[in-house]
Amino acid sequence: MSLTIAEALKQATTQLQAVSDSARLDAEVLLAHVLKKDRVHFLTWPEKPISELTYKVFLDLVNRRVEGEPIAYIIDQQEFWSIKLRVTPDTLIPRPETELLVLEALNLLKEDERYKIADLGTGSGAIAIAIASERPLCTVIGIDQSRMAVKVADRNAASLGLKNVTIRQGDWLTDFADHSLDMIVTNPPYVAENDPHLAEGDVRFEPSSALLAGPEGMNEYRKIIPEAVRCLKKHGWILLEHGYDQQDKLLDLLTAEGFTEARGIKDYAGQPRVIIAHT
C-alpha cells in the first residue's frame, strides 16, 4: 500500500522532531527534493499517493537528517541572497548572517564604478557571486585554498552565467599585487579550536579548514589584515565577518595595522558580526 504525500510528511516529521527544531520544514524540503517539485506544488496535492520507490528514497534522506547531517549537504543546495548555490561537504554552508556582509559591501559599491574586489576563503562562492550579480561592472575574484571548494564555486559562478567573477585557488592575498584592490571581503575561519559549539549541529559536518583558526579563532585574521593593507588601494575597504566575541580584538588589530574608521555592525540577532574599515 502506498502512502499519500500528507502521510509521508507526517511520519517523517515525527521522526525528525527528535533532532530538529524545524522538523516539518525539513521533511517538506527533503520530499520536494525527491519529487523534484516546489514545496508549494505538493502541499497543494496532499492526497496524492507517492510510489514505494519514492518513499524509500525519501526515508533514506530523512534518516541521514536524523543522524544530524545538514539539510544543505543532503540536497547539495543552499539559498543565499536569493541565489541557489550548490554546496558540498568541501564548503561551508552559507549562513543568513553572511548576507549582512554582502549588504554592507553593496552599500559601499556605487553601481556605475568598476571596482576590483577579492573575496577571501570564498567556499561555495556565496559572497563573491552575490556581489558580482548585483554589481555587473565590478570584477570579483573569489580565492580559496581548497581545490575542491574552487571547483564548487566555479561551477556556481558558471551556472549563473556571471562573467565578472573569477574563482582561483590561492593562499589569501599572496598572489595579489600591491595596491591593486578596491575592496576585500571575507568570512574566514574564525572559530576557536576548543569552542564547545563545534560538537553541535551543522558545524560537525562542515570542513574544519573552513571553521577553525587557532586558540582564539584569530589566526587567519592575523594573516589577512597586514596583507590587506599591502593589497588595497588608497581608501580601499575591508569587510570582515567574525565571531560573537571577536569584534573588540579585531577593531584594535585593524587600527594597529593602519586601517581607519573601523566600525562594527550587529546582525539581525543583535550579535556583533561584521566589521568595516578602510585604508
Query: Among residues 114, 125, 85, which one has the least CA distance to residue 210?
Result: 125
- Among the residue ranges 35-43, 57-65, 188-196, 223-231, the one whose residues contact ligand GLN (CB under 6 A): 188-196
Q: How far, CA to CA in Å, does 191 sit from each of 21, 198, 248? A: 24, 8, 16
Report the 3 state secondary structure along 193-255: CCCHHHHCHHHHHCCHHHCECCCCCCHHHHHHHHHHHHHEEEEEEEEEECCCCCHHHHHHHHH
- Among the residue ranges 61-69, 160-168, 189-197, 261-269, the one whose residues contact ligand GLN (CB under 6 A): 189-197
Applying CB under 6 A, which of residues 190, 221, 237, 259 lies at the interface with ligand GLN? 190
189 near ligand GLN (CB under 6 A): yes
Q: Compute the least distance from the CB of residue 5 to ligand GLN, in Å.
A: 34
Q: Around Cβ 52, how many Cβ atoms within 10 Å?
A: 11
246 near ligand GLN (CB under 6 A): no
95 near ligand GLN (CB under 6 A): yes
221 near ligand GLN (CB under 6 A): no
50 near ligand GLN (CB under 6 A): no
102 near ligand GLN (CB under 6 A): no
Q: Is 148 exposed, middle or buried (0-12, 13-18, 19+ CB in 10 A)?
A: middle
124 near ligand GLN (CB under 6 A): no
Q: Where are the alpha helices (DSSP H) in the chain?
A: 5-16, 23-35, 39-44, 52-66, 71-75, 98-108, 126-134, 147-159, 219-231, 247-256
As beta bridge partners, residue 266 has: 272
How long is the chain? 279
- Among the residue ranges 30-38, 135-143, 185-193, 249-257, the one whose residues contact ligand GLN (CB under 6 A): 185-193
203 near ligand GLN (CB under 6 A): yes
Q: Compute the least distance from the CB of residue 178 to ligand GLN, in Å.
A: 27
- Minimum CB distance to ligand GLN smaller for 105 or for 191: 191
211 near ligand GLN (CB under 6 A): yes
Site of interaction with ligand GLN (CB under 6 A):
92, 95, 187-191, 203, 211
